[in-house]
Structure 1
Amino acid sequence: MRHKNSLELFDYWTAKRAGRAAPSRTDIEPADIRNLLPHVFICDLTGKESLSFRLAGTAVCALYGKELKATPFAALWLPDGIRNAGRTGAAVATGTTPAVLSLDGLSQGGRVLHAEMLLLPITGPTGEHDRLIGLMSIFEPPYWIGHDSLAGLSTTGIRFLDQTREPLFLGNRPEIKLDTAQGTGFRAAHAQNQRRVAHLVVLDGGRRD
């Protein structure tokens, strides 16, 4: 986890679960995380490897230029990453292991941003593991957010957080780097966008190490 927003939500989730595998949805008080709410979303399990947004914060919706409620979770990705994103989200929602995703986002105009997504399991009214709370944070937010919507995401790395290990951030499972075979779709979509922008393309964004 590299973004302060991810750390803050993770600490809150850990406190609310109070030793359980996951907290209940009713344990999450919006007022407690008011500063994070624009970046927070909740998804419900709608199939074996399928999640849909129950709600999404304004900052997340602004990235796509539309309301995301009822949108499939995996639809946020570029085509080559949809299946893996669906599996990852469902694994978190139905299990007890949080995940952190490193992401590249491609805009409709061919621009790129770098982001981190935290996925945390929560339980519904029946006590079953059937949903998750997540947060998406942008590194060095570019000026064009809200004006040039995202075409989709590409996952560049996944880290699953093992709750049985201490200390948490030193003893955890390493990030699994993805060679963007999703990257094939990412580069293809990127090239397609490049051809639409006359003879010049400006790529904004950057990674904070």
Structure 2
Amino acid sequence: MKHKNTLELYEYWASKRAGRPAPSRTDIEPGDIRRLLPDVFICELSKDGKLTFRLAGTGLCNLYGRELKGTGFGELWLEDGIRNATRTGVAVASGPTPAILSLDGLSTRAGVLQAEMLLLPVFGPTGEHDRLIGLTSVFDPPYWIGHDPLAGFSTTGVRFLDQSREPLFLGNRPEIALPRAEREKSAPLFGRSERKVGHLRVLEGGRQD
């Protein structure tokens, strides 16, 4: 955990478990995590395996310039990362193991940001594993947030958390680096030149009317 907000939500979630694999959704009091709420979200896993947003904070919606409630969890990712992100979210919602994702975000005008996402399982009203509560923490938020929506995230690493260890030592669980998927060679999008920033493809020239 690299961001203080990530650790704060994890410690709150752990305190509500009371020895159980996960707390119930009703155990989570919004007032207890008031400072974090803009970046908090809740997803529900349906019986057909779809993971969708039941609630998304204003901070997360602001990153994408739209309301996310009712949309699929995987829609936050660039196309080549949707499958892995969805599988990770479903694994957390359907089981007792939390996860942290290291993320790069690419905006529609080629802005780049770094973030991490915490995913924590919670029990739904039926007592089954069918929900997760999450938090997206952006490092050094760029000035363009709220003006230049994200096109999507790219996952650079995943770490599953061992609940038997204290949060201070969670970093000892190694992060699984995700290699960039092999892409077919193609012409630059919209006829614009491109460059690489890390493993992201960035279009030059900004807005063109």
Mark yes or no: TM-score above 0.5.
yes
List gaps (5 residues or longer) in structure 2.
195-200
Show the counterpart of 1:202: none
Show the counterpart of 1:54: 54
Show the counterpart of 2:28: 28
Pair 171,66 (structure 1): closer, same or farther in 2 beyond 3 Å: closer
Q: Is 1:197 aligned to 2:206, yes or no?
A: yes
Matches within 5 A, 1:165-176: 165=165, 169-170=169-170, 172-176=172-176
Cα root mean square deviation, aligned: 2.3
Show the counterpart of 1:204: none
Give the CA deviation at 1:196: 5.0
* Distance of 1:167 and 1:152 partners within structure 2: 29
List gaps (5 residues or longer) in structure 1.
200-209
Show the counterpart of 1:101: 101
* Distance of 2:167 and 2:66 partners within structure 1: 40
* Distance of 1:145 and 1:92 partners within structure 2: 28
Taking only the aligned residue pairs, the percentage that are identical comes to: 68
Q: Does the residue aligned with 1:53 lie in a helix, a strand or coil?
A: strand
Q: Is the 8 A contact 1:50 1:87 kept in 2?
A: no
* Distance of 2:119 and 2:10 partners within structure 1: 9
Show the counterpart of 2:113: 113
Which one is further off, 47-56 or 69-78? 47-56
Q: Does the residue aligned with 1:169 lie in a helix, a strand or coil?
A: helix
Give the CA deviation at 1:167: 6.7
TM-score in terms of structure 2 length = 0.87
Q: Is the 8 A contact 2:162 2:170 kept in 1?
A: no
* Distance of 1:168 and 1:92 partners within structure 2: 21
Q: Is the 8 A contact 1:60 1:136 kept in 2?
A: yes
Q: Does the residue aligned with 1:138 lie in a helix, a strand or coil?
A: strand
Show the counterpart of 1:206: none
Give the CA deviation at 1:99: 0.1
* Distance of 1:151 and 1:124 partners within structure 2: 31
Which one is further off, 61-70 or 162-171? 162-171
Q: Alignment length, in residue pairs?
A: 196
Q: Is the 8 A contact 1:16 1:23 kept in 2?
A: yes
Pair 141,158 (structure 1): closer, same or farther in 2 beyond 3 Å: same
* Distance of 1:132 and 1:14 partners within structure 2: 14
Pair 164,198 (structure 1): closer, same or farther in 2 beyond 3 Å: closer
Show the counterpart of 2:145: 145
Show the counterpart of 1:42: 42
The amino acid of 2:159's aligned partner reads: R
Pair 84,170 (structure 1): closer, same or farther in 2 beyond 3 Å: closer
Give the CA deviation at 1:165: 3.6
Show the counterpart of 1:207: none
Once the two structures are superposed, residues 144-183 of structure 1 have per-residue CA deviations (whole angstroms, 9 ceiling, x without a partner) of 000000000000000000113457525742100112228x
Pair 29,126 (structure 1): closer, same or farther in 2 beyond 3 Å: same
